[in-house]
Amino acid sequence: DHKFWNTQPVPNIDEEIVESGPIEADIPFDQIKKEPLPLPKEFEWCEINMEDEKEVKELYELLTMNYVEDDEAQFRFDYSAEFLKWALLPPNWRKSWLVGIRVAANKRLVAFISGIPVAMRTYEKVHNLTEINFLCVHKKLRSKRLAPVLIKEITRRSHIEGIFQAAYTAGVVIPKPIATCRYYHRSLNPKKLVECNFSRIPPRSTLSRMIKNFKVPEKTNTAGLREMRKEDVPQVRVLLNKYLTRFDFAPVFETDQDVEHWILPHEKVVWSYVVEDPKTKKITDMFSFYSLPSSVIGNPKHSTLNAAYMFYYAMEIDEALEHEQKEKFISKRLNELVNDALVLAKKADFDVLNTLDLMDNAKFVDEQKFGNGDGYLNYYLYNYKCPDVSRNKVGLVML
């Protein structure tokens, strides 16, 4: 039983939902508390200024030592400082939504939660939501019910800004997922992955057979493929928004600034490519991946696993095609694009390319030799109920 979540505007875990809408009404501004929630007296609230390198470093260190691990505590996400700035300072970011808790006596940062604004379409309806991420409580302060305090405080701060719904993802199951996706992994450096215990040599295989099996071509194969540039932004925005209409739960890139921020290549953080038709100069496809290393916990030989994660992609689809032809076309084209992504990720020295089985990803995982991971990712909405979304109808990729 969920002592905290049972008090929140979320559906029960076993509730079947047939209609969409808010669970509770918006709260009038004068009824929203203007003061932060009380904290145990040894702690104090703070806002993390991500434009100040010193504070970025404090957040980086909190997360590097205390953020998400796999079920056997072999790996822990190690988002880079540069990545965190990118993730937390998108267009229209709010200072008041980068919330920390410090120890009053020595000002040490011991907990954090973030919100960023996002336009999300859920089935037919587009909403401005708060996207919550990077909830973290220092390992020494676990199980003291600090997480509910952080969640209630960011909820209050979202209400102050006039936003009464939120989207978030988590490995854990709480009331109530709108979708559940599975992680997939494509080995690029099988030797290192085996040495890190990230993957193992199957009983009837050998390392050299694995190395051969996971080898990728030297060069990309798609004609007209190149890195995305700033002048591509308007076309990419139209192409990506159009592709995302295939899904039931997807972001809407409302401005060129959104695409510039989220999709344009960003050194050491995001890699993005477009396919330009040599004749018409029109952009027909795009794909991207981001860098999220993991610390390898207690391994004598390796300290970091360099993982790339599939991010957004899109392709032009001939609307005149019949449904089945259309799906076949997407499958074929997507396999070409992801095969090139493997080549580029390998070139950039990534050990593995990770993905989830959302969007059209089920169409390429087998052919591109991705294998099942042991992790799942649940998608949630706060204060909004809607029918379950199947994994291949999820169009939101969260960092």
CB of 71 to ligand NHW, least distance (A): 12
CB of 139 to ligand NHW, least distance (A): 8
Site string (167-206) toward ligand EN5, x via CB under 6 A: --xxx-----------x-x-x----------xx-------
**CA atoms in the 13 A half-sphere facing the CB of 20:** 16
Binding positions for ligand EN5, 47-76, rule CB under 6 A = 68, 70-72, 74-75
Residue 19 interacts with ligand EN5 (CB under 6 A): yes or no: no
Query: Which stretches of the chain bind ligand NHW, using CB under 6 A?
Result: 2-5, 66-68, 130, 132-137, 142-148, 151, 154-155, 158, 163-166, 168-170, 172, 174, 382-383
Contact partner at residue 183 from ligand EN5, ligand NHW, none, CB < 5 to 8 Å by partner kind: ligand EN5
CB of 325 to ligand EN5, least distance (A): 32
> How many residues belong to the chain?
399
Ramachandran sector of residue 242 (left: φ over 0; alpha: ψ -120 to 50; beta: rest): alpha
Contact partner at residue 397 from ligand NHW, ligand EN5, none, CB < 5 to 8 Å by partner kind: none
CB of 397 to ligand NHW, least distance (A): 14
Contact partner at residue 135 from ligand NHW, ligand EN5, none, CB < 5 to 8 Å by partner kind: ligand NHW
Q: Are strands 304-305 and 371-382 parallel, antiparallel or unpaired?
A: unpaired
Amino acid identity of residue 375, one-letter, is G
# residues contacting ligand EN5 (CB under 6 A): 23
Catalytically active residues, by annotation: 399
CB of 179 to ligand EN5, least distance (A): 14
Residue 373 interacts with ligand EN5 (CB under 6 A): yes or no: yes
Residues 6+ apart with CB under 8 A from 309: 289, 290, 291, 292, 353, 354, 355, 397
Distance (Å) of CA 346 to CA 217, 222, 224: 10, 16, 20
Residues 6+ apart with CB under 8 A from 373: 182, 183, 184, 185, 354
Contact partner at residue 329 from ligand NHW, ligand EN5, none, CB < 5 to 8 Å by partner kind: none
Residue 251 interacts with ligand EN5 (CB under 6 A): yes or no: no
Residue 374 interacts with ligand EN5 (CB under 6 A): yes or no: yes
Phi then psi for residue 211, to 5 deg, are: -60, -40
Nearer to ligand EN5, 349 or 374 (CB): 374
CA–CA gap between residue 399 and residue 378 (Å, rounded):
13
List the structure tokens of 153. 């405080």
| Cα–Cα nearest to 182, from 342, 362, 395, 373 | 373
